[in-house]
Amino acid sequence: MVSNLKGKHFLTCDDWDKQELDTVFETAFDLKKKFALEEPTRYLRDKTLFMIFFEQSTRTRNSMEAGMTQLGGHAHDLTADKMQLSHGEAPKDTAIILSRMGHGIASRNCFYGIGNEYLNEMAAYSGKPIMSLQDDIYHPFQGLADQMTIFEHFGRNTKGLKVTVSWAYADTHSKPLSVPQTQLLLFPRYGIDLTIAHPKEFPLSQNIIDQAEKNAQASGGSIRFTNDMDEGFEGAHIVIPKNWGGFGHYGVQEYLDNEEACKKEMAENLAKYKSWICDEKRIKLADKNVKLMHALPADRGNEVTDEILDNPDISIVFDEAENRLHTAKAIMALTM
């Protein structure tokens, strides 16, 4: 285990080596056990976390705030309208000031072409660890919870485990690429054979794919892509049906320069793929003991049917959601 991670930023799992990540998982499992036994874990007594949210949140906001309380500290729940961010204060200045007043800063900013840059600018000037609560490229806390859940249900040796992350139809909004991209980068590092299924109009970012393939080669996992959802489900031990927007189809500058036209095209492409749903017919293509995972909130009846999502023999989504708490606590305890 790594003994000292204090002060380390957590912007993507890819910035943490395997030994560091293993320390996080060991800590998370220990914290989960102590949580179940109601043993106190006040490792961050009297410390302060500033949380800056540019979007709504359920699991992320509550796992961080509850986690900070359970660790003996306090989390400030901030939104742009509560701060001078609404008047254009630079991320540099926000980071310098808040890092002098507390012990950690966590932020969610998913605006495409903006969010990750915002977090990295804060990290460059903060004297305390910056934690990504999701941006337009990465969702590292979700990745940790996903991997922890896989370990719980399949054991710590996941080499050869077949996991499929599949695009699925949803009509709520154009969701970020950050969840599937984080899974793509992380899962093969633990020997997982990962399949990404998506319509051709909804690819992931090419630079993330290139890095993920390097991760797989270094760690013994594998990655394959298909434009057929049925093919993606065949033989899978875990399926993760998840909608994401078509942002990867465009360069960042192309999208920012032509945002309305790109959104219109994405909506037109979306309408073509209403049949991309995880239902009873598709789940039968997977392994007989298949498990369903999802970052939540799931678009019920579009991404996945109720009969699958609510089936306790298949669905482990609520274990996955709970593990957001324990992995969040692990990162905060180790870095703050």
CA distances to 58, 256, 288, 314 from 180, in Å: 19, 22, 24, 20
In this prediction, residue 271 carries a pLDDT of: 92
Determine the pLDDT at residue 78: 86
Q: Other CB atoms closer than 10 Å to residue 252's CB: what's the count?
A: 15
Contact 216, 261 (CB under 8 A): no
Alpha helices in the chain (DSSP H): 18-36, 59-70, 91-101, 115-125, 140-154, 178-186, 206-219, 229-233, 252-257, 259-270, 280-283, 306-309, 317-335
* Per-residue confidence (pLDDT) for residue 307, from 0 to 100: 97
Q: What is the pLDDT averaged over residues 198-208?
A: 97
Query: What confidence tens digit (pLDDT) does each residue in 94-137 have?
Result: 999 999 999 999 999 999 999 999 999 999 999 999 999 999 99
Please name each of the domains of the chain with its CATH number: 13-138+322-335 (3.40.50.1370), 142-320 (3.40.50.1370)
291 pLDDT more than 90: yes
Task: Work out the mean pLDDT of the chain and round it to a whole number.
Answer: 95
Per-residue pLDDT tens for 44-71? 999 999 999 988 778 899 999 999 999 9
The percent of residues in the chain predicted with pLDDT above 90, rounded, is 88
Residue 86 scores a pLDDT above 60: no
Indicate the helix (H) or strand (E) that contains 53: strand 48-53
- For 135-188, write each residue's pLDDT tens digit: 999 999 999 999 999 999 999 999 999 999 999 999 876 799 999 999 999 999
